[in-house]
Amino acid sequence: MRIHPLTRGLAAVLLCTLPALPAMAARFELQGGVSYMGNPSNSYTTPVAFGEVVFDPQQIGSSNFTWSPDVTAGWIDGRNVAQYNNDRPTTRDNVWLVAGGARLHYGPTNAWYQPFFLSFQPAVHTGRTQALSTVYEFVTTVGYQGDHWSLGIRHISNGSFHEPNRGETMVVAGIAF
């Protein structure tokens, strides 16, 4: 398997900064779940696993919005879907990805709705599949962040910049440290 040079570089930066992350990070999450290629109405599911580091929140001006830098590294297992075996790309590649962006919250710290979040991250990854066919993708997550757990719906896609673009839509649950 060939790994894109940009992916190797980002992985090296992430590995070099890992020792400092606990001191800088407000939260580290280990997440797992199931992903659907295209949309959840089909049966092309596969397991996924992610590690996510969410840094201290910063208020946006004098608004009730806060944002936190957010770095994610993850794995999406390949699938053996017979109807795509003769296509290029197939669905068989395992995908490793690294993404970085922001997690947004709204509301004062003690508001019941403040733990809900929206996260947006550009990503690079290895592997090519019917779902993720370019080296770059966009990761969008809507979820809930409890004290020591999280639950989210995540979509990864290239935004229709290149076909095929079936995307990965997943449900992820995590524990937080």
Q: Tell me if 23 is assigned to some domain.
A: no
**Structural domain boundaries, residue 131:** 5-17+28-176
CATH of the domain at 150: 2.40.160.20
Note whether 123 and 136 are within 8 A (CB).
yes
- For the full predicted model, state whether its pTM sits above 0.85: no
d(CA 101, CA 49): 18
d(CA 77, CA 19): 27
d(CA 157, CA 132): 6
Tens digits of residue pLDDT in 58-98: 999 999 999 999 999 999 998 887 777 788 887 778 889 99
Q: CA nearest 105: which of 94, 115, 92? A: 115
Note whether 117 and 143 are within 8 A (CB).
yes
Q: Tell me if 11 is assigned to some domain.
A: yes
Per-residue pLDDT tens digits of the chain, which is 177 residues long: 555 555 555 566 555 555 555 556 689 999 999 999 865 556 688 999 999 999 999 999 999 999 999 999 999 998 887 777 788 887 778 889 999 999 999 999 899 999 999 999 999 988 888 778 888 899 999 999 999 999 999 999 988 777 777 888 999 999 999
Q: Tell me if 22 is assigned to some domain.
A: no
Q: Tell me if 141 is assigned to some domain.
A: yes
Total of domains in the chain: 1
